[in-house]
Amino acid sequence: MSASNNTFDPVRVAVLAPAEVDRMTGDALAAIGAASDFDELKAARLAHRGNRAPLTLASAEVGALPPAARAEAGRRVGQARRLIDEALAARLADLEADRDRRVLLEEAADVTLPWDRVQAGARHPVTTLAERLADVFIGMGYEVAEGPEVEAEWYNFDALNFPPDHPAREMQDTFFVAGPDGAPRSGMVLRTHTSPVQIRAMLTRPLPLYVVSPGKCFRSDPLDATHSPVFHQIEGLAVDEGLTMADLRGAIAAFVEAMFGAGLRTRLRPDYFPFTEPSADVSMQCHVCRGASAEADGSPCRVCKSQGWIEIAGCGMVNPRVLVACGIDPERYSGFAFGLGIERSLMVRNGLADIRDTLEGDVRFSRAFGVEA
């Protein structure tokens, strides 16, 4: 008969030795104490209380011990489990308290912050001024007409009566679009003014015709305080029976009044454009010194450089050759046209010193003009 196993020494089941259980407990408590977030705590729980944890594996050995040793080892392992579970629960409570504190801080809505001082964007003053100018003419019965920015040379020059050797066609003014196979010209240009829209309107719209055309234009000017290779113009064109220079003057006076207020005189002086005959440049009385050439204290007016007048536009009666190019009978119809630079008008109206400010896209610049719808 074999002897009962009473003499089995639990200390010899190495994993259940008190020092070994203490070590496993110590490891577990250290890992739990070091867990700095929920993931690390979960990893510590799996490592020290999971199915494959050393203590779990050791406790499986308890059943193999003789009854006397089993009770003692069982107590030891149970004690270790309790310690570890308490530590896990305490650490979890700490981490939850931390998280709650953080959430309260991070997700707090500061109801004292002024919601209405959040900076809104602003539309660009070139856009709002172009629209305002167009609106003046829409109010007088004009329609908005548009044309492409990459334009056929024929519309930009030929149909507008620019002779083939006109200096404005030369490289220093015009961006020519290269042709295929490296040819320097394709017959297309970046439009140098909005006047080609006149031609498009006359070719496609019924008479009488009243159109206004705002749009982007391009000239190969170097960028400096007063020139930009990309700028905007707005063009007006009227073709009807019996239109005279008096109608042109009336239209110009109406728009100066809309832009600068009543009471400023306008002046036409002879000028030359191939597509208008006669042609004139338009000046208006300086809106700052109102023609006095000097400021109230007698110092020279900086806005008009003491001229009393500010040049704002080109204009004229549509050249009969242009009417003919568009299939319009110049014996029956006459027309007038005018064109002005929007950036330039903006600079005059708002006292801007540098056109480059309009190009930089800094919302602080736009915002200074107020938020227009």
Binding status of residue 343 toward ligand PHE by CB under 6 A: no
Of 71-79, 172-180, 204-212, 312-320, which part binds ligand PHE (CB under 6 A)?
A: 312-320
Of 111-119, 125-133, 288-296, 333-341, which part binds ligand PHE (CB under 6 A)?
A: 333-341
Asked whether the beta carbons of 235 and 197 are under 8 A apart, the reply is yes
Query: In the bound complex, what is the minimum distance in angstroms from residue 220's beta carbon to ligand PHE?
Result: 14
Q: Is 262 helix (H, G, I), strand (E, B) or coil?
A: coil
Binding status of residue 219 toward ligand PHE by CB under 6 A: no
Which residue lies nearer to ligand PHE by CB, 85 or 277?
A: 277
Binding status of residue 128 toward ligand PHE by CB under 6 A: no
Contacts of 13 (CB under 8 A, 6+ apart): 61, 64, 65, 73
What residues from 229 to 248 belong to the interface with ligand PHE (CB under 6 A)? Answer: 235
Which residue lies nearer to ligand PHE by CB, 31 or 212?
A: 212
Asked whether the beta carbons of 310 and 283 are under 8 A apart, the reply is yes
Can you read off the two tokens belonging to residue 156? 């930009």
Of 133-141, 171-179, 241-249, 313-321, which part binds ligand PHE (CB under 6 A)?
A: 313-321
Say if residue 103 is exposed, middle or buried (CB neighbours under 10 Å; 0-12, 13-18, 19+).
exposed
Binding status of residue 266 toward ligand PHE by CB under 6 A: no
Closest CA to 215 of 238, 191, 239, 237: 191
Q: Which listed residue (142, 260, 333, 338) binds ligand PHE by CB under 6 A?
A: 338
Q: Is 55 helix (H, G, I), strand (E, B) or coil?
A: helix
Measured CA to CA, the distance from residue 88 to residue 46 in angstroms comes to 11
Query: In the bound complex, what is the minimum distance in angstroms from residue 162's beta carbon to ligand PHE?
Result: 11
Measured CA to CA, the distance from residue 81 to residue 268 in angstroms comes to 101
Measured CA to CA, the distance from residue 137 to residue 263 in angstroms comes to 19
CB atoms within 10 A of CB 128: 18
CA angle 224, 227, 232 (to 5 degrees): 140
Q: Which listed residue (147, 196, 214, 316) binds ligand PHE by CB under 6 A?
A: 316
Q: Which listed residue (87, 145, 339, 355) binds ligand PHE by CB under 6 A?
A: 339
Of 7-15, 179-187, 335-343, 362-370, which part binds ligand PHE (CB under 6 A)?
A: 335-343
Contacts of 312 (CB under 8 A, 6+ apart): 256, 282, 283, 284, 340, 344, 345, 348
Which residue lies nearer to ligand PHE by CB, 193 or 200?
A: 193
What residues from 270 to 299 belong to the interface with ligand PHE (CB under 6 A)? Answer: 273, 276
User: Which residue of this chain has its Cβ atom nearest to ligand PHE in the complex?
Assistant: 339
Q: Which listed residue (193, 200, 287, 344) binds ligand PHE by CB under 6 A?
A: 193
Query: In the bound complex, what is the minimum distance in angstroms from residue 237's beta carbon to ligand PHE?
Result: 8
Residue type, 241: E
What residues from 43 to 102 belong to the interface with ligand PHE (CB under 6 A)? Answer: none
Binding status of residue 133 toward ligand PHE by CB under 6 A: no
Closest CA to 213 of 230, 189, 196, 192: 196
Measured CA to CA, the distance from residue 70 to residue 16 in angstroms comes to 10
Q: Which listed residue (161, 195, 266, 334) binds ligand PHE by CB under 6 A?
A: 195
Measured CA to CA, the distance from residue 360 to residue 130 in angstroms comes to 18
Q: Which listed residue (10, 147, 314, 335) binds ligand PHE by CB under 6 A?
A: 314
Binding status of residue 315 toward ligand PHE by CB under 6 A: yes
Which residue lies nearer to ligand PHE by CB, 58 or 326?
A: 326
Query: In the bound complex, what is the minimum distance in angstroms from residue 194's beta carbon to ligand PHE?
Result: 7
Which residue lies nearer to ligand PHE by CB, 237 or 259?
A: 237
Beta strands in 309-367 (DSSP E): 309-318, 334-341
Q: Identify whether 66 is preceded by a cis peptide bond (ω within 30 of 0).
A: no
Q: Where along the sequence are the contacts to ligand PHE (CB under 6 A)?
A: 193, 195, 235, 273, 276, 314-316, 337-339
